[in-house]
């Protein structure tokens, strides 16, 4: 249904200073009475979510196009000029392999430049973590990367960063959004100006500085040297990772890095996959085929902007198995803390960080090594906020999230699949040095800390109607939370939107010390945690299941996993998820 507000907004685009193709598209929607597309294009304006602006490319205020990108850039430029009065303002700009990404990055650069801001633009596509590093290295006040991360090919987006190389958090995100809302299309100068004096290209020296910083993360150079011929298969899934991940692995000593040929060319149509996301098994299939062909030791896969990494290793049945983000993050934290302790680097001021929907195995590992663990809302910007607030007081070791993001060290302030790939390869080399596989280390970890098992169920709900469905689902669970899940009594309910925690056993209510976020968590008597959360980057609602049990010995692993899978299935049924 077309409301008066939607009709007025569409009319303003028809009559305003927009290009002919844009106006023709709107006119066609009217002529063909295609009101569904018209409504979806204009029923709202794109807003900053957990990963900045993100949406389907196309015409309208709810789409990614030069006008929504232009407004975001002009609003950010206005905010920067207000925030840094009489200071020289520099920004860095990058982009991934998506369709129109270079074009939108150049438009962004031009708008900043015409606002008197000095711009450092990448020479070609580069990963998100490189942008974060460049902001810090080049002493920039802000930065932007044009990317939609792991979303399908129809999407693009705009991630904005602050002075420390982290994505915008409060109050900057809200203040920038306020500035964007004030921008009218006529306020933006879209006219191209080739060779603008305020725009310069980022040189190789910045990239080399990143590789040098990466070497500082290495904990076991001797093992890498002994296992320099470790057979590594890497797929960039047609994304920006191909520009840096192979070189990063080679720079720390690995000499046998095999890039999956059919997915090695950057391509915004992602021709070999449905979703360019290492979380999806289908996206890793070609990599697994290559692993079988050369009898590899490790498979690494990164998403289009190379901030997420997925991995596969041989399991205890000598079959290739994809690990999920919780398992990878847990292995990385276990490896880092174990080696920091072994090398006498733990001084009592160290910490790790994770999101509230990431495995509580990380908390368990941190407690064992007497390292503080901070839980944050979903979005790596919240982990980066700890790095900023605790700088000079505590030492950050590493942190991760279940959605395949990890960051070790603090020279980048966003999840970094480049450094994560290097550390995962190093872990694998150390394991092989000890006549083990990485899967052996995974089971060793479960034996030591308990078998934590996680599963994500995700439901796509597109458009305005889908948004209403998601809203209704969350309201139902908020108003009538489940009493039992999988035969276990629910003893606590955490509502991050209302900032309250209810203890259903003691009949008490306490305050949650987090920024408000539309997340619900149900905790059972055995410690299972089930979280419900609408995605901040996709038209999805996600349900995160985390269950655990004691693993008495290696032989029991398969049976115990089967028991936990059955428990998760029962919990899903109890929530009516099917």
Using alpha carbons, select from 454, 459, 441 the residue that is nearest to residue 528: 454
Using alpha carbons, select from 539, 529, 402, 523 the residue that is nearest to residue 471: 539
pLDDT band at 436 (very low <50, low <70, confident <90, very high): very high
Q: Say how far apart CA 457 and CA 572 lie, in whole Å.
A: 9
pLDDT at site 50 = 58
Question: Looking at residues 458-487, what average pLDDT do you find?
Answer: 91
Residue 416 has pLDDT above 80, yes or no: yes
Q: Say how far apart CA 108 and CA 412 lie, in whole Å.
A: 22
Question: Looking at residues 70-95, what average pLDDT do you find?
Answer: 97
Q: Which residues are catalytic?
A: 149
Look at the block and give the residue holding tokens 């080739």.
Answer: 194
Q: Say how far apart CA 332 and CA 231 lie, in whole Å.
A: 20
Q: In the numeric block, which tokens belong to residue 397?
A: 């070791």
Evaluate the omega torsion of the peptide bond into residue 171 and state whether it is cis, within 30 degrees of 0: yes
Q: Say how far apart CA 359 and CA 94 lie, in whole Å.
A: 32
Residue 495 has pLDDT above 90, yes or no: yes
pLDDT at site 380 = 93
Look at the block and give the residue holding tokens 């899978």.
Answer: 565
pLDDT band at 465 (very low <50, low <70, confident <90, very high): confident
- Please state which of the ranges 31-40, 229-238, 284-293, 352-361 shows the lowest mean pLDDT: 31-40
Phi and psi, residue 64, nearest 5°: -85, 120
Domains parsed from the chain with CATH numbers: 44-202 (3.40.120.10), 209-449 (3.40.120.10), 451-574 (3.30.310.50)
Per DSSP, the three-state class of 41 is: helix
- What DSSP string runs through 452-511? EEEEEEEEE--HHHHHHHHHHHHHHHHHS--SEETTEEEEEEEETTTTEEEETTTTEEEE
Cβ neighbours around 36 below 10 Å, total: 14
Question: Looking at residues 445-465, what average pLDDT do you find?
Answer: 93
pLDDT band at 354 (very low <50, low <70, confident <90, very high): very high
Residue 336 has pLDDT above 70, yes or no: yes
Per DSSP, the three-state class of 265 is: coil
Q: Which helix (H) or strand (E) holds 186?
A: none
Say what the pTM is.
Answer: 0.95
Distances (CA, A) of 365 to 104, 188, 330, 428: 43, 51, 8, 19
What is the 8-class DSSP label of residue 241?
G
Phi and psi, residue 307, nearest 5°: -110, -10
- Please state which of the ranges 193-197, 332-336, 360-364 shows the lowest mean pLDDT: 193-197
Phi and psi, residue 322, nearest 5°: -75, 135
pLDDT at site 467 = 87
Percent of the chain having pLDDT more than 90?
92
Sheet holding 372-376, edge to edge: 372-376, 350-355, 395-401, 405-408
Cβ atoms of 312 and 292 within 8 Å: the answer is no
pLDDT at site 46 = 87
pLDDT at site 497 = 96
**What rounded mean pLDDT belongs to the chain?**
96
Q: Say how far apart CA 36 and CA 21 lie, in whole Å.
A: 19
Q: What is the pLDDT of residues 122-156, one digit of tens each?
A: 999 999 999 999 999 999 999 999 999 999 999 99
Distance from CA of residue 29 to its chain's centroid? Answer: 34
Distance from CA of residue 335 to its chain's centroid? Answer: 22
Q: Which helix (H) or strand (E) holds 529?
A: strand 529-534
Percent of the chain having pLDDT more than 70?
99
Bridge-based pairing state of the strands 484-485 and 451-460: unpaired
Q: What is the pLDDT of residues 359-401, one digit of tens each?
A: 999 999 999 999 999 999 998 999 999 999 999 999 999 999 9
Q: Say how far apart CA 325 and CA 311 lie, in whole Å.
A: 9
Residue 1 has pLDDT above 80, yes or no: no
pLDDT band at 51 (very low <50, low <70, confident <90, very high): low
Residue with the bigger pLDDT between 49 and 540: it is 540
Cβ atoms of 112 and 90 within 8 Å: the answer is no
Q: Say how far apart CA 419 and CA 507 lie, in whole Å.
A: 46
Q: What is the pLDDT of residues 169-186, one digit of tens each?
A: 889 988 999 999 999 999
Residues with Cβ within 8 Å of residue 398, at least 6 apart in sequence? 332, 333, 336, 352, 406, 407, 408, 409
Distance from CA of residue 455 to its chain's centroid? Answer: 17
Q: Which helix (H) or strand (E) holds 155?
A: strand 155-161
Residue 48 has pLDDT above 90, yes or no: no
Residue 49 has pLDDT above 70, yes or no: no
Q: What is the pLDDT of residues 265-304, one digit of tens each?
A: 999 999 999 999 999 999 999 999 999 999 999 999 999 9
Q: Say how far apart CA 309 and CA 404 lie, in whole Å.
A: 6
Cβ atoms of 439 and 432 within 8 Å: the answer is no
Using alpha carbons, select from 401, 571, 416, 428 the residue that is nearest to residue 489: 571
Question: Looking at residues 188-203, what average pLDDT do you find?
Answer: 95
Residues with Cβ within 8 Å of residue 416, at least 6 apart in sequence? 129, 132, 307, 406, 407, 408
Q: Which helix (H) or strand (E) holds 355?
A: strand 350-355
Cβ atoms of 121 and 202 within 8 Å: the answer is yes
Question: Looking at residues 259-268, what average pLDDT do you find?
Answer: 98
Residue 535 has pLDDT above 90, yes or no: no
């Amino acid at each position: 249904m077309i409301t008066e507000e939607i009709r007025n907004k569409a009319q303003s685009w028809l009559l305003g200073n927009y290009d002919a193709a844009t106006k023709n598209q709107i006119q066609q929607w009217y002529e063909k009475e295609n009101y569904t597309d018209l409504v979806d294009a204009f029923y709202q304006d794109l807003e900053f979510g957990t990963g900045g602006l993100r949406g389907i490319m196309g015409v309208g205020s709810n789409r990614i196009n030069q006008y929504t990108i232009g407004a975001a850039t002009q609003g950010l430029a206005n905010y920067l000029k207000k925030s840094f009065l009489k200071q020289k303002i520099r920004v860095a700009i990058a982009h991934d392999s998506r369709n129109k990404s270079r074009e939108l990055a150049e438009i962004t650069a031009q708008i900043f430049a015409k606002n008197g801001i000095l711009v450092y633009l990448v020479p070609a596509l580069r990963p998100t973590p490189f942008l974060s590093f460049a902001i810090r290295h080049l002493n920039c006040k802000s930065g932007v990367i044009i990317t939609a991360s792991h979303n399908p090919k129809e999407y693009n987006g705009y991630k904005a960063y602050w002075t420390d190389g982290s994505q915008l958090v409060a109050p900057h995100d809200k203040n920038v959004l306020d500035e964007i809302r004030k921008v009218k299309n006529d306020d933006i100068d879209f006219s191209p100006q080739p060779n603008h004096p305020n725009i310069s290209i980022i040189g190789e020296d910045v990239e080399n500085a990143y590789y040098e910083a990466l070497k500082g993360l290495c904990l076991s150079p001797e093992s890498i040297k002994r296992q320099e011929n470790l057979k590594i298969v890497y797929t960039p899934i047609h994304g920006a990772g191909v520009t840096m991940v192979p070189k990063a692995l080679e720079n720390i000593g690995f000499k046998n890095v095999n890039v999956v040929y059919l997915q090695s060319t950057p391509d915004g149509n992602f021709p070999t996959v449905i979703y360019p996301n290492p979380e999806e098994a289908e996206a890793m299939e070609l990599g697994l085929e290559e692993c079988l062909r050369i009898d590899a030791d490790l498979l690494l896969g990164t998403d289009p902007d190379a901030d997420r990494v997925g991995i596969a290793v041989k399991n205890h049945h000598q079959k290739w198995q994809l690990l999920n983000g919780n398992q990878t993050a847990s292995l990385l934290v276990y490896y880092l803390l174990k080696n920091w302790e072994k090398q006498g680097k733990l001084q009592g001021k160290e910490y790790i960080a994770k999101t509230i929907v990431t495995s509580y195995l990380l908390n368990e590992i941190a407690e064992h090594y007497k390292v503080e663990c901070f839980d944050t809302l979903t979005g790596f910007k919240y982990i980066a906020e700890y790095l900023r607030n605790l700088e000079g007081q505590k030492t950050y070791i590493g942190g991760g999230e279940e959605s395949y993001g990890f960051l070790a060290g603090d020279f980048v302030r966003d999840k970094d699949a480049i450094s994560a790939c290097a550390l995962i390869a190093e872990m694998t080399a150390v394991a092989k040095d000890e006549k083990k596989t990485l899967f052996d280390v995974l089971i060793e970890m479960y034996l030591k800390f308990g078998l934590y098992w996680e599963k994500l169920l995700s439901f796509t709900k597109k458009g305005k109607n889908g948004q209403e469905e998601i809203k209704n689902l969350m309201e139902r669970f908020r108003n009538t939370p489940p009493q039992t899940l999988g035969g276990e009594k629910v003893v606590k309910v955490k509502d991050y939107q209302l900032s309250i925690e209810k203890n259903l056993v003691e009949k008490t209510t306490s305050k949650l010390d987090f920024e408000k976020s539309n997340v619900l968590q149900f905790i059972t008597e055995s410690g299972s945690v089930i979280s419900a959360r609408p995605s901040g980057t996709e038209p999805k609602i996600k349900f995160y299941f985390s269950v655990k049990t004691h693993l008495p010995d290696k032989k029991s692993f398969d049976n115990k996993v089967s028991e936990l899978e059955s428990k998760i299935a029962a919990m899903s049924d109890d929530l009516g998820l099917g």
